[in-house]
Chains A and B, each alone.
Chain A
Amino acid sequence: MTLDRELLAEIWPLFVRASVTTAWISALSMAIGLVLGLLTALARLSPWRPLRLVARGYVELIRGTPLLVQVYFLYAAAPYYHLTLPPIVSGVTSLSLYVGAYASEILRAGITAVHKGQIEAARSLGMSYWQTLRRVTIPIMAALVTPALTNEFTGVLKWSSILSLITVPELTYRAYQVIAESYAPIEALVLSGLMYWALTDIVAWGGRVVERRVTRHLSP
């Protein structure tokens, strides 16, 4: 099993550009998904039952079906509303909705993990509401949710490969293109695999850096 160096040299620049696409699509979806996740988490903790139910329905629907089916469905359904979204918009929307559901569960766990007693203790020490939020609530939450959210981010990087199936020109799309045109699968697979691996490791490393910063208050 040897690699065709000529082919590798030829596809290398194309794949680098494609991984940049994969990276920004994932980062954007992650950012939108986090906002969506926070709103959903708050909705699920709301005292108003209908809001809780809607939020729960959204989470269960997303977590109960494969992303591939969600991507196909939105891509096909939007035009019925005269919303003929370009592939990349449709894809990022699907990914964001997907992240939103999973992130909401992580954030909900984070929010409920901050004990009322901790907040009351901080207030009784004379901290204002904002001080308590900034110095107690958010740091505790951040320490709890950072590893899981980092995991989510690396997940998005990998799941974004599905957008290749609706013609978004990201890394896997380029890999398929090379496989289809050269009939040589190894080079494209090895190269795209390594690039995904590098991207996820960069994100995982970044996550650890953030984690160390947000858990500083826990170290002696």
Chain B
Amino acid sequence: MLPGFDPGIVVESLPVLVRGALVTLQVSALGILLAGVLAVPVAFARLSASRAVRGLAFLYVDAVRGTPLLVQLYAVFYLPPLVGIDLTPLESAVLALGLNGAAYTAEILRGGIVALPKGQVESARSLGMTQWQAVRRIVLPQVVGNVLPALTNEAASLLKGSSLISVLAIIELTRAGHQLVGRILRPLEVYFAVALLYLLVNAAIFWASHRLERRLVAYR
């Protein structure tokens, strides 16, 4: 396929790279989870009646969406120790991915919430549900169902974003590939194998999302 391309090297590098891919999976999964958890309060804060809360949430979302993940990763790596907070590289990576993903996810959720007819919450309340019950039982399930494709894209983009955590001293897939290139000087074959593994993990995320979507639709 390419001049000088040696498929044997792709096969040889797979064991090391698969180990890196598992780290990628782990960090991305934790990051996606954290992003999901943080996004819900941020989305509601963006819709809050209080101007101060709205402003603060907007500032957070705008700052995250306005700067590169690479710079954010560096910031999470360097800044907390200066104020006395020690994070392991793994904690830093999950925190950075989570904070980044939460800003984007919050915007997706906000869009979904705004699109929901207002009367639903009111009828839920009139049926005796508390505000929280209405949110948890009526609002969120529908919103998540409606915005699932967007959320899946966000999860996939966090997975790809995790390629940048090599700057945090974590040996994930891209860094493992990079280390291997440094040793055997065969960038072509190694990055080809790395790309292959990302495609695989990415496909797995979309497959899982389709299954989830079917389940959510079933409940409707």
- Tell me the A residues contacting B by CB distance below 8 Å: 1, 60-61, 63-70, 72-73, 75-77, 80-81, 154, 158-162, 164, 172, 175, 179, 185-186, 189, 192-193, 196-197, 200-201
Contacts and interface: CB of A to CB of B under 8 A. Distances in A.
Contacts of A193: 63, 67, 71-72, 75
B65 interface: yes
22 contacts: A60-B199, A63-B156, A65-B202, A66-B161, A72-B174, A72-B177, A72-B178, A76-B187, A76-B191, A80-B3, A158-B67, A161-B70, A161-B71, A164-B70, A179-B74, A185-B78, A186-B79, A192-B71, A193-B63, A193-B72, A197-B62, A201-B66
Interface in B37-71: 62-63, 65-71
B195 interface: yes
B67 A69 contact: no
A185 B3 contact: no
A172 B70 contact: yes
A170 B5 CA distance: 32
A65 B160 contact: yes
Contacts, number: 112
B194 to A, nearest CB: 5
A66 B174 contact: yes
A172 B191 CA distance: 23
B164 interface: yes
B207 to A, nearest CB: 12
A187 to B, nearest CB: 11
A61 B199 contact: yes
A193 B63 CA distance: 9
B2 interface: yes
Contacts of A72: 174, 177-178, 187, 191
B43 to A, nearest CB: 18
- Report whether over half of chain A's contact residues are helix, strand or loop; otherwise say mixed: helix
A76 B5 CA distance: 12
Contacts of B174: 66, 68-69, 72
Nearest to B3: A80
A118 to B, nearest CB: 24
Given A172-B70, A189-B71, A69 B2 contact: no
Contacts of A80: 2-5, 188
**Interface size range of chain B in the complex:** 35 or more
Contacts of A154: 65-66
Contacts of A179: 74
A186 B178 CA distance: 27
A64 B194 CA distance: 11
A147 to B, nearest CB: 11
A60 B202 CA distance: 10
A73 B217 CA distance: 40
The 9 closest A-B pairs by CB, nearest first: A76-B187, A66-B163, A197-B66, A161-B68, A66-B160, A158-B68, A185-B78, A73-B191, A64-B199
B191 A197 contact: no
B195 to A, nearest CB: 5
B14 to A, nearest CB: 15
A73 B196 CA distance: 12
Interface string B198-215: 110011000000000000
B188 A69 contact: no
Contacts of B187: 72-73, 75-77
Contacts of A172: 68, 70-71
B68 A69 contact: no
Interface in B170-191: 174, 177-178, 181, 187-188, 191
A196 B67 contact: yes
Given A77-B188, A161-B70, A172-B68, A68 B82 contact: no
